[in-house]
A and B are shown apart, each in its own frame.
Chain A
Amino acid sequence: MTPLAAIPLWLALPIAFLVMLGATLTLIGAIGFLRLGNFYDRLHAPTLATSWGMGGVVLGSLLLATQVEGRVILHELVIAFAILITAPVTLMLLGRAALHRDRSEGSTQLPDALRHRRSSETAENSESDE
């Protein structure tokens, strides 16, 4: 624990706050993930972890590494950037896949407006559906 003792108090407080905020938001997102009833509702819960859950931990880690090494360390931002870009892509694709599966099985969970393809969507999907 020697590197942690060398951190000044004015920096230790924001680092502790950011890390605890990030961890708590991630837990809240995970609990919502367990409790929400529908897949399309559940799709929103992990975004808590990928936005400020990840952001808090990464910012805390960045501040700590910068203080310990004695120079500005920005490596952590690479992770933050990668997650910020990839998480929406994954969730969007998963949502489309679930919609596709629910439609092809005629699921009753879907609202009426989503049960059938709109004409604009049919044109865009017809070449890729073979």
Chain B
Amino acid sequence: MSAAILTFALGYAQLVLSLAACVAGVRILRGPRAQDRVLALDALYIIVMLVFLVTGMQLGTMFFFEAAMIVATMGFVSSIALAKFLFRGEVIE
């Protein structure tokens, strides 16, 4: 019983999160200006991190947790670098 509930919940979460990732991808393609695309990329990083966490729960391995942590950290660094780039036109002064 609990296996069925968890399988359904994790499958639903994977489906819904991948839909959300597609929606963020549409915004990356459509975004009228550069800041919209950077914002969409930041949202996409978070959504992909959540997909990794849910997949890790489904497969019961620690591997996806470490991947999710790296995605979260690198997403922050890249978003900050892109935001700095939008400010000045260069990242390192």
Contacts and interface: CB of A to CB of B under 8 A. Distances in A.
B3 A94 contact: no
> What bracket does the count of chain B residues touching chain A fall in?
35 or more
Interface of A: 1, 3-5, 7-9, 11-13, 15-17, 19-20, 22-24, 26-27, 29-31, 33-34, 39, 42-43, 45-46, 49-50, 53-54, 57-58, 60-61, 64-65, 68, 75-76, 78-79, 82-83, 86-87, 89-91, 93-94, 96-98, 100-101
Contacts, number: 175
Given A20-B12, A100-B86, 19 more contacts: A1-B3, A4-B3, A12-B1, A13-B5, A20-B16, A22-B13, A27-B23, A33-B43, A39-B36, A46-B42, A57-B53, A61-B53, A64-B6, A79-B53, A82-B72, A83-B72, A87-B46, A90-B42, A90-B76
A23 B8 CA distance: 13
Contacts of B40: 33
Interface string B39-65: 110110011011001101100100001
A19 B54 contact: yes
Interface of B: 1-3, 5-10, 12-14, 16-17, 19-21, 23-24, 26-27, 33-36, 38-40, 42-43, 46-47, 49-50, 53-54, 56-57, 60, 65, 68-69, 72-73, 76, 79-80, 83-84, 86-87
A13 B76 CA distance: 33
A46 B16 contact: no
